[in-house]
Every structure is written in C-alpha cells, then in structure tokens.
Amino acid sequence: MTIIDGRGIARRRQEVLHREVARLEEKGIVPTIAPILVGEEGSARVYYRAKARLAEKLGIRYAGVELPTDTREEELLSVIASLNVDPRVDGIFIELPLPRHISWEAVSRSVVPEKDIDGINPMSMGLMLAMSGRAKNYRQLSDRADVLLPATPMAVMEILLEIGVSLAGSEAVVIGRSLSVGRPLSLLLLTEGATVTICHSKTRSIDKITRRADVLCVAVGRSRFLTSGMVKQGAVIVDIGINVSAEGIVGDVDYEAVATKASLITPVPGGVGPMTTTMIMANTVKCALNRA
C-alpha cells in the first residue's frame, strides 16, 4: 500500500502556478480571486482562510467578501453582480454552506461563466458536458480556455494522472452523485477512457459493485462509509469526504482497514483537500490568462 501525498502533489502544481502569476504580473495583470463568505459557519470560514493563505503564497490578489448570516438573498446577488463586472476580479467563489434562506440555484446562476472558478453556473456545467464529448482525454478538456471545471473533481483527476494511474479501460466506481463532485467526476473519468459506475444511497448490493472497481472514488458524506469488505485487493482508493468526528477530521473511507487492501490511497486530511484549493487558484489564473 502506498499513501498518496496530496500535499506534495499540490506543492508541485503551486510552483508552476507561481511562475504563471509572475509572468502575468510582467504584463501588468495581477490574478484576483474573490471568495464570498456568508455567515460564521465553521468549515466555510476555514476554507475561506485557507484560500487567503494560498493566494498570498502564489502572489494572487485576494479580494474576499465577508457578509453577515442575516444577509438577504438580493443583497448577496447584488454583491455578485458587482464582482461580475469588476475588471480587476478574475474568479468568484461561493463558500458553502450558505444560510438556508438563500437559494443556491439563484446564486449559482448569478456568477458569470467566465469568472465561475468552481463550475457552479448551469452554463459552465453544460459547456463541460458538451466539450467533454469532443475532447480526446481529460487533459485536452481541462486545457481549453473556455472551460472551467469544478475544483474537487479536477483535483481528483490531477492526482490520479500525477501518480500514473492508467484510467483508460479501467473500471471506476464513484460513490456519490452530487452536482458538485460525483456527477462531474464521473464525466471526467469517462473522458479519460474509464468505464464508470455511479453508486448512491439507493444502490442495491453496493458492495458487489465496489468490489469490481480498479479505481474507487468516495464522496458520499458519511464517516468511514467504505469498509474493507467493499474493496478488492489492489484497488486505488480516493477519499473525497471530510467529516468532523470526536477523533477529529475523518474521511468517507475506513482508512486503517481499507489501506491494507489498497494499492494506493489518499489520506484525510492531506489527500484531495490541498489539491482542491490549488485547483481553485489554477482556475483563477486561467481566467486571468484569458483576460490577458
């Protein structure tokens, strides 16, 4: 079993981004990210601050916006509208969860596609779907200037390709069907040539399906959901879950038990998370390159 060093992979990608930012600055362009935080939810604030630290490290201008929990939906949409037309802002990111009185559908539609660095706008999703049918592989799709892929699925793909996992012809299983992770990740795996199955809460005999997987990606949002009996010997395991427990942060995989059977496995923390934040910055730099 080999532990996948997500932090190390992220650091190497950040070095490339830092050089790209420097080249843009020589042209008078400073890449700028504008995350929006509404309320005081703990995990959202942690991610908001993590982006600030990474942006500073890379030389990206951080134009974060903090709003109180009782912010009205129309007020948030007004803030997004002003960022949409601000020529200095390249990327807009909405921290989740939002307060319950704010419609996620309205917010996702309000971010213009050219600044949508997490791929939440339906137009961004539609373009990803349409262009994936024309791309020969994931890299050709992700390199398109007009396509901004969602950060977490992109992070998973970047990790798998970096460590040399051959996806073409492999059997990949994704547990979780969310619009932000499970569904787009399945599409990206398919683009790379994998045969993909999506499992979810209503999947019958899920263990029979997961035991077929060469690559198993888990984004179900349930602590230690994937057990050793659900995994075949030598599988590659990507744990996308982040759950708060009495023991601290744990993933969706029963790590200690599954690790004995996996050939490669991502830890939590230190696996997909660092690369996800890096991909958000990579999309911001892509938007700045488009502006240049």
DSSP state of 226: B
Asked if residue 151 lies in contact with residue 276, where contact means CB atoms within 8 angstroms, the answer is yes
Give the separation between CA 214 and CA 160, rounded to whole angstroms. Answer: 12
What is the rounded average pLDDT for all residues in the chain?
A: 96
For each of the domains in the chain, give its residue range(s) and CATH number, in order of start.
28-113 (3.40.50.10860), 150-273 (3.40.50.720)
Helix axes 6-26, 42-58, angle to 10 degrees: 50
Local confidence band at 27 (pLDDT 50, 70, 90 cut-offs) = very high
What does the alpha-carbon distance between residue 117 and residue 290 come to, in Å, rounded to a whole number? 13
The torsion defined by the Cα of 98, 96, 148 and 17, in degrees rounded to 10, comes to 140
Per-residue pLDDT band for 246 (boundaries 50, 70, 90) equals confident
pLDDT of residue 275: 97
Q: pLDDT of 96-123, one tens digit each?
A: 999 999 999 999 999 999 999 999 999 9
* Phi, psi (deg, nearest 5) at residue 93: -135, 130
SS3 270: coil
Full DSSP string of 35-55: EEEES--HHHHHHHHHHHHHH
Coil, strand or helix at 253? strand
Could you report the per-residue pLDDT of 40-71, keeping only the tens digit for each? 888 889 899 999 999 999 999 999 999 999 99
| E strand or H helix that includes residue 144 | none
Decide: 128 and 147 in contact? Cβ < 8 Å: yes
- Name the strand (E) or helix (H) holding 67: strand 65-67
Confidence at residue 126, expressed as pLDDT on a 0 to 100 scale = 97
pLDDT of residue 43: 81
